[in-house]
């Protein structure tokens, strides 16, 4: 119980009455007193407000007149509403103008694009018409020219307008038989366009194949014709090729490359046979499939895969590490020849895998020799590779280092643009393979930075380019600096002793100019010419 400081008010008392004691109130009583006091204050305030309002009503001049303050407030509210309406109308008008402007700009852009498309379409149509007219005129002119040639040929045949000139024949050539046909004796060419451009028949009956011809080649031609026809149709319709269509076409092309049971009725294809099951016919088909042709004697069989290459395990591991899945045609033909220490002339285009074709046999040859040590490092390297340019030499060096990863063979490149003293120091430290350009290598030999006393393996990569660039004297100088006591015998029927070290020369070229032929005749012994694809001029 809390003691209240305030006491209950009492009536004035006389001095004779004793003072009253303070009364103690409970909490509920105090709250009730507070409510009564607040209620009294509220009633008093209402009473004063009603009194003020009654005085104002008596002081008004008329009952309808509004107080000045209320009138000012109403005028201000009216002005505010009028300004708000004006701003809203202005915003609405601005929105309409912007909308109209956007619609107009869109319509104008649409019309401009439409006009541009129409102009482009008309221009393309005019160009197509002009191209058709030009093509038609060209064909007409060509046909007229062919008709004139045909008439001239008929006149020449029946009228004999041109008399052949008598040619003076030497007595030695009088009875010599000519194996060549003259141009006038060629009856395969005809003036008629129907015979000049024969159309390949697309068989739509039976099995769809012609008898007496390779079924796989016919399937490949059919797939090629179908692809060209689809491309022409898509080009006319302006439709792009879909991914599923491209995948289906690729599957058809892969299926056309394979032989089925109807293609080879007599026997299996060489790809399904083991090495010991291969026949002469299979090897001939194998060489035809990869456009491999040989010229020489005692030619070994080409290898079909890396497993049949007779390379060491270290080299096969390096080949797999380098990412070579399947040998290229020049590698199939040249590697077995190199393993037999035969001199090889490889004729193939650039980028056909020639580097591995001579590097792998070279590393096999070096692995049979004693390693380079302090006793024999002064005699020079075991093998030399010459390339026409510095870039090609560095590329060959990278490939050689890649294949020699598991053999521990040291490779040094000698090219221009670097210090010759530093390169000579690297050679004197000992290395098995030197890859160089002819000019820098002959400089090292003349300055006694390098010797070739034990070098019996030489490779001339892109020999035709080296000759064209004027390096023939340098190449001859390098070849003469090598020991000549290990040449192979002149008799091509004599078999080589595999245990004996012979001088082996590899020469790769894209063409065979006379200078390259002279080098081959002088420094190569009974070479085997390997040609990949077709060659305009072969070694005679």
pLDDT tens digits, 31-56: 888 888 888 888 888 888 888 777 77
Q: What pLDDT does residue 362 have?
A: 92
Looking at the fold, whether 259 and 291 belong to one and the same domain comes out as no
Is residue 6 in some structural domain? no
Listed residue (387, 473, 380) closest to 424, CA to CA:
380
Q: What pLDDT does residue 201 have?
A: 72
Is residue 114 in some structural domain? no
Looking at the fold, whether 450 and 354 belong to one and the same domain comes out as yes
Encoded tokens for 397:
């060096």
Q: Are strands 457-460 and 433-436 parallel, antiparallel or unpaired?
A: unpaired
Is residue 57 in some structural domain? no
Q: Which segment of 40-54, 254-268, 313-327 scores lowest on mean pLDDT?
A: 254-268
Percent pLDDT > 70 in the chain is 80
Residue predicted with more confidence, 339 or 69 = 339
Looking at the fold, whether 346 and 262 belong to one and the same domain comes out as no
Q: What pLDDT does residue 484 have?
A: 74
DSSP structural state of residue 181: P
Residue predicted with more confidence, 68 or 434 = 434
Q: Looking at the chain, how many residues does it have?
A: 540
Q: Is 298 helix (H, G, I), strand (E, B) or coil?
A: coil
Q: What pLDDT does residue 73 have?
A: 67
Is residue 162 in some structural domain? no
Domain boundary among 237, 266, 295: 266
Neighbours of 206 (CB within 10 A): 8
Q: By residue range, what is the domain housing residue 242? A: 201-266
Q: 361: pLDDT confidence band, cut at 50, 70 and 90?
A: very high
Backbone angles phi, psi at 292, to 5 degrees: -100, 130
Q: Which segment of 37-41, 79-83, 190-194, 449-453 scores lowest on mean pLDDT?
A: 190-194
Encoded tokens for 139:
């064909």
Rounded Cα distance between 363 and 352, Å, is: 20
Rounded Cα distance between 348 and 506, Å, is: 13
Examine the pLDDT at 400 and tell me if it is beyond 60: yes
Domain boundary among 241, 266, 291: 266
CB 529 within 8 A of CB 295: yes
Q: Residue 333 sits in a domain of what CATH number?
A: 3.40.50.300
Mean pLDDT (whole number) for 9-27: 60
Is residue 107 in some structural domain? no
Domain boundary among 238, 266, 294: 266
Unique residue bearing structure tokens 């390779």: 214
Rounded Cα distance between 410 and 426, Å, is: 10
Examine the pLDDT at 252 and tell me if it is beyond 70: yes
Looking at the fold, whether 216 and 318 belong to one and the same domain comes out as no
Q: What pLDDT does residue 334 have?
A: 92
Q: What pLDDT does residue 448 have?
A: 87
* Dihedral angle, C-alpha 62, 64, 69, 73, nearest 10 °: -160
**Looking at the 3D structure of the chain, how many domains does it have?**
2
Whole-number Cα distances in Å, 494 to 208, 256, 484, 520 = 53, 45, 19, 20
Looking at the fold, whether 413 and 332 belong to one and the same domain comes out as yes
Looking at the fold, whether 427 and 303 belong to one and the same domain comes out as yes
Backbone angles phi, psi at 229, to 5 degrees: -65, -40
Q: What pLDDT does residue 2 have?
A: 42
Q: Which segment of 22-36, 299-313, 324-338, 359-373 scores lowest on mean pLDDT?
A: 22-36
Examine the pLDDT at 100 and tell me if it is beyond 80: no
Is residue 227 in some structural domain? yes
Looking at the fold, whether 250 and 356 belong to one and the same domain comes out as no
* Dihedral angle, C-alpha 266, 269, 272, 277, nearest 10 °: 70
Q: What pLDDT does residue 143 have?
A: 84
CB 450 within 8 A of CB 444: yes
Examine the pLDDT at 363 and tell me if it is beyond 90: yes
Q: What pLDDT does residue 537 have?
A: 41
Rounded Cα distance between 17 and 341, Å, is: 154
Looking at the fold, whether 230 and 317 belong to one and the same domain comes out as no
Residue predicted with more confidence, 158 or 497 = 158
Q: 260: pLDDT confidence band, cut at 50, 70 and 90?
A: low
DSSP structural state of residue 323: T
Unique residue bearing structure tokens 């006009």: 115
Q: What pLDDT does residue 492 have?
A: 62
Is residue 88 in some structural domain? no
Q: What pLDDT does residue 332 have?
A: 92
Looking at the fold, whether 295 and 375 belong to one and the same domain comes out as yes
CB 386 within 8 A of CB 475: yes
Mean pLDDT (whole number) for 379-397: 91
Mean pLDDT (whole number) for 121-148: 89
For residue range 479-529, list pLDDT tens digits in order.
888 887 777 666 666 666 666 777 889 998 888 888 888 888 888 888 899
Examine the pLDDT at 109 and tell me if it is beyond 60: yes
CA dihedral sign of residues 511, 516, 517, 522: negative
Q: 263: pLDDT confidence band, cut at 50, 70 and 90?
A: low
Examine the pLDDT at 235 and tell me if it is beyond 90: no
> What is the DSSP track for 439-463?
HHHHHHHHTTS---TT--EEEETTH
Encoded tokens for 153:
């040929």
Listed residue (453, 396, 435, 390) closest to 416, CA to CA:
390
Q: What pLDDT does residue 359 have?
A: 93
Q: Which segment of 215-224, 365-374, 529-538 scores lowest on mean pLDDT?
A: 529-538
The sheet carrying 528-532 orders its strands as 292-295, 528-532, 344-347, 504-509, 457-460, 383-386, 433-436, 411-414
106 membership: H or E segment, kind and range = helix 68-158
CB 354 within 8 A of CB 538: no
Backbone angles phi, psi at 435, to 5 degrees: -115, 120
Looking at the fold, whether 235 and 315 belong to one and the same domain comes out as no
Is residue 429 in some structural domain? yes
Unique residue bearing structure tokens 């194996």: 179
Q: What pLDDT does residue 72 have?
A: 60
Give 395: exposed, middle or buried? Use CB within 10 Å, 0-12, 13-18, 19+.
middle
Q: What pLDDT does residue 237 have?
A: 86
Encoded tokens for 102:
């956007």
Rounded Cα distance between 283 and 357, Å, is: 20
Backbone angles phi, psi at 505, to 5 degrees: -125, 125
Adjacent-strand bridge partners of 412: 434
Looking at the fold, whether 372 and 453 belong to one and the same domain comes out as yes
Q: What pLDDT does residue 35 have?
A: 87
Q: Structure pTM? A: 0.51
Q: Is 420 helix (H, G, I), strand (E, B) or coil?
A: helix
Mean pLDDT of the chain: 80
CB 430 within 8 A of CB 454: no
What is the Rg, in whole angstroms, of the alpha carbon atoms belonging to the chain? 53
Looking at the fold, whether 315 and 367 belong to one and the same domain comes out as yes
Q: What pLDDT does residue 215 have?
A: 77
Listed residue (309, 334, 323, 460) closest to 403, CA to CA:
323
CB 399 within 8 A of CB 461: no
Q: 11: pLDDT confidence band, cut at 50, 70 and 90?
A: very low
């Amino acid at each position: 119980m809390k003691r209240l400081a305030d006491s209950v008010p009492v009536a004035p008392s006389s001095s004779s009455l004793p003072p009253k004691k303070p009364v103690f109130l409970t909490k509920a009583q105090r709250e009730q007193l507070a409510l009564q006091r607040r209620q009294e204050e509220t009633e008093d305030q209402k009473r004063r407000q009603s009194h003020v309002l009654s005085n104002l009503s008596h002081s008004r001049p008329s009952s309808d007149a509004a107080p000045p303050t209320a009138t000012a407030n109403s005028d201000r509210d009216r002005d505010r509403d009028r300004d708000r309406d004006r701003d809203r109308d202005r915003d609405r008008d601005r929105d309409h103008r912007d909308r109209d402007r956007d619609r107009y700009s869109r319509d104008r852009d649409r019309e401009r694009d439409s006009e541009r498309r129409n102009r482009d379409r008309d221009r393309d149509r005019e160009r197509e018409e002009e191209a058709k007219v030009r093509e038609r005129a060209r064909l007409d002119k060509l046909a007229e020219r062919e008709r004139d040639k045909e008439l001239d040929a008929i006149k020449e045949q029946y009228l004999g307008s041109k008399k052949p000139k008598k040619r003076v024949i030497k007595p030695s050539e009088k009875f010599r038989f000519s194996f060549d046909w003259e141009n006038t004796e060629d009856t395969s060419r005809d003036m008629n366009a129907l015979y000049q451009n024969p159309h390949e028949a697309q068989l739509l009956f039976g099995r769809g194949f012609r008898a007496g011809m390779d079924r796989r080649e016919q399937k490949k031609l059919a797939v090629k014709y179908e692809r060209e026809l689809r491309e022409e149709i898509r080009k006319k319709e302006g439709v792009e090729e879909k991914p599923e269509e491209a995948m289906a076409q690729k599957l058809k092309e892969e299926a056309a490359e394979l032989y089925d049971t109807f293609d080879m009725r007599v026997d299996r294809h060489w790809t399904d046979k083991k090495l010991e099951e291969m026949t002469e016919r299979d090897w001939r088909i194998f060489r035809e499939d990869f456009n491999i042709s040989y010229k020489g004697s005692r030619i070994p069989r080409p290898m079909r895969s890396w497993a049949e290459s007779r390379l060491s395990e270290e080299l096969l591991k390096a080949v797999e590490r380098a990412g070579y899945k399947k040998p290229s045609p020049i590698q199939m033909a040249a590697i077995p020849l190199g393993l037999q220490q035969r001199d090889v002339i490889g004729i193939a285009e650039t980028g056909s895998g020639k580097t591995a074709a001579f590097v792998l046999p070279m590393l096999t040859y070096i692995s049979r020799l004693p390693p380079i040590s302090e006793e024999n490092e002064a005699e020079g390297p075991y093998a030399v590779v010459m390339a026409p340019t510095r870039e090609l030499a560095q590329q060959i060096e990278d490939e050689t280092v890649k294949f020699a990863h598991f053999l521990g063979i040291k490779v040094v490149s000698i090219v221009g643009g670097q210090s010759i003293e530093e390169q000579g120091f690297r050679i004197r430290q000992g290395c098995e393979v030197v890859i160089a350009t002819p000019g820098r290598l002959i400089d090292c030999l003349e300055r006694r930075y390098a010797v070739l006393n034990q070098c019996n393996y030489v490779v001339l990569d892109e020999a035709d380019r080296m000759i064209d660039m004027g390096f023939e004297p340098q190449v001859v100088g390098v070849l003469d600096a090598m020991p000549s006591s290990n040449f192979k015998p002149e008799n091509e029927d004599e078999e080589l002793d595999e245990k004996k070290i012979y001088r082996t020369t590899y020469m790769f070229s894209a063409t065979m100019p006379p200078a390259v032929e002279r080098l081959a005749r002088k420094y190569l012994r009974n070479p085997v010419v390997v040609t990949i694809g077709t060659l305009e001029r072969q070694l005679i």
